[in-house]
Amino acid sequence: MSGIRKEFGSTVALSDFTLEIESGELVCLLGPSGCGKTTALRILAGFEKADSGTVTVGGEDITFVPTPKRQFGMVFQEYSLFPNMTGRENVEFALKLRKAGSAERKDTIDRLLEVTGLTQHADKYPHQMSGGQRQRVALARALASNPRVLLLDEPLSALDAKVRDSLREEIRRVQREIGVTTLFVTHDQHEALAIADRVGVMSHGRLEQIDPPRALYEQPDSAFVAGFVGTVNRIPAQADGDRWRVLNRSVPGTPTVPGATLAAIRPEQIAVDVDAAGDDTVREVVFLGPLTRLTVDHGGTTLIADLLTSEFGGAATGDRVRVRLRDDVDEIVLIEG
Amino acid sequence: MRRRFDTATVIVAVPFLAFVGLFLFVPTIGLAIKAFTPGGSFGFSAMQRALEGTYRTAFINSLALAATSAILGGVIGLLLALSLRSLRRPKWLRSTTDSWSAVAAQLGGIPLAFAFIAAIGTQGIITKLLNQIGFDITDSGFSLSEFWGLVVVYLYFQIPLMFLVMMPAVGGLKNTWSEAASIMGASSGRYWRSVALPLLVPSFLGGLLLLFVNSFAAYATAYVLNPGAQLVPLQIRFLLQGNVITGEQDLAYAIVLWTISLLLASLLLIAILQRRTAKWASA
Amino acid sequence: MGVGMKVLRAIFLILLGLYFFVPLLAMARFAFQSVPVVLLTPEKLLEGWSISGLLEVFGNPEFQRATLISLQLMVLAIVLTLVLLLPLAALVEIRAPQLRTLMTAITLLPWVVPPVALVVGVAATFRNTVPWFLASPYSLVPFYVLWALPFSYRALDAGLRSIGARTLYEAARVMGASTFTIIVRVIIPNMIGAIIAASVLTAALVLGEFAFAALLLKETLPTFMAEFQRSEPRAGMALALAVMLLTALIIWIGVRALRKRGMDLQAAGV
Residue A318 φ then ψ, to 5°? 95, -15
Residue of B nearest to C24 (CA): B115
Q: Does A274 touch chain B (CB under 8 A)?
A: no
Residue B218 has pLDDT above 80, yes or no: yes
- For residue B4, the model assigns a pLDDT of 61
Amino acid identity for residue A87 in this structure: G
> Which chain A residues touch B186 with a CB distance below 8 Å?
68, 93, 97
The shortest CB-CB distance from C113 to any of B5, B28, B126 is to B28
Average pLDDT over residues B205-224: 89
Average pLDDT over residues C127-151: 87
- For residue B243, the model assigns a pLDDT of 46
Residue C182 has pLDDT above 50, yes or no: yes
- For residue B80, the model assigns a pLDDT of 93
- Strand order across the beta sheet in which A72-75 lies: A72-75, A149-153, A181-186, A26-30, A198-203, A206-211
CATH 2.40.50.100 residue ranges of chain A are 232-335
Amino acid identity for residue C88 in this structure: L
Residue of C nearest to B217 (CA): C114
Chains in touch with C (3+ beta-carbon pairs under 8 Å) read B
Are C265 and B106 a contacting pair at CB < 8 A?
no
What are the boundaries of each domain within chain B?
A: 44-277
Superfamily for C54-260?
A: MetI-like (1.10.3720.10)
- pLDDT tens column, C55-69: 888 888 999 999 999
Which of C50, C43, C88, C26 minimizes the C-alpha distance to C241?
A: C26
What would be the CATH architecture of the domain defined by A2-223? 3-Layer(aba) Sandwich (3.40)
Are B115 and C226 a contacting pair at CB < 8 A?
no
User: Fold for domain B44-277?
Assistant: MetI-like fold (1.10.3720)
Are A145 and B185 a contacting pair at CB < 8 A?
yes
Mutation for testing the B interface, residue in A71, A84, A86 having most B CBs under 10 Å: A84
Residue C144 has pLDDT above 90, yes or no: yes
Please, which residues 144-173 of chain A have a Cβ atom closer than 8 Å to chain B? 145, 151
The shortest CB-CB distance from A67 to any of B183, B280, B283 is to B183
Mutation for testing the B interface, residue in C116, C119, C147, C173 having most B CBs under 10 Å: C116
- For residue C17, the model assigns a pLDDT of 92
Average pLDDT over residues B118-136: 82
**A208 to chain B, closest Cα gap in Å:** 29
- pLDDT tens column, C64-98: 999 999 999 999 999 999 999 999 998 888 888 88
Q: How far is C222 from C201, CA to CA, in rounded Å?
A: 17
Spans in chain A with pLDDT lower than 50: none
What SS3 state is found at C194? helix
Residue B244 has pLDDT above 50, yes or no: no
CATH 3.40.50.300 residue ranges of chain A are 2-223
Are C99 and B13 a contacting pair at CB < 8 A?
yes
What SS3 state is found at B60? helix
- pLDDT tens column, B43-54: 787 788 878 888
Which of C228, C222, C234 minimizes the C-alpha distance to B117?
A: C234
Are A84 and B280 a contacting pair at CB < 8 A?
yes
Q: How far is A182 from A184, CA to CA, in rounded Å?
A: 6
More confident residue, A228 or B241: A228
What SS3 state is found at A297? strand
Point out which residues pair with A73 in neighbouring strands: A150
Amino acid identity for residue A64 in this structure: F
Which of A16, A40, A18, A13 minimizes the C-alpha distance to A29?
A: A40
- For residue C68, the model assigns a pLDDT of 93
Q: Could you write out the DSSP letters of every residue in C151-178?
A: HHHHHHHHHHHHTTHHHHHHHHHHTT--
Average predicted confidence (pLDDT) for chain C: 85
What are the boundaries of each domain within chain C?
A: 1-50, 54-260
CATH number of A232-335: 2.40.50.100
- For residue B139, the model assigns a pLDDT of 75
Quick one: pLDDT band at residue B245, thresholds 50, 70, 90? very low
Chains in touch with B (3+ beta-carbon pairs under 8 Å) read A, C
**C57 to chain B, closest Cα gap in Å:** 15
The shortest CB-CB distance from B27 to any of C122, C215, C267 is to C122
Chains A and B touch (3+ CB pairs under 8 A): yes
Average predicted confidence (pLDDT) for chain B: 85
Point out which residues pair with A203 in neighbouring strands: A206
- Per the CB < 8 A criterion, the answer to whether C230 and B227 are in contact is no
Q: How far is A79 from A153, CA to CA, in rounded Å?
A: 12
Q: Does A65 touch chain B (CB under 8 A)?
A: no
> Which chain B residues touch C12 with a CB distance below 8 Å?
79-80, 83
Average pLDDT over residues B87-97: 79
pTM (two decimals): 0.83
- For residue A208, the model assigns a pLDDT of 85
More confident residue, C38 or C60: C60
User: What is the greatest pairwise CA distance in chain B?
Assistant: 77
- For residue A259, the model assigns a pLDDT of 78
- pLDDT tens column, B26-38: 999 988 888 888 7
Residue C163 has pLDDT above 70, yes or no: yes
**Complex ipTM value:** 0.84
Q: How far is A26 from A24, CA to CA, in rounded Å?
A: 7
Chains A and C touch (3+ CB pairs under 8 A): no
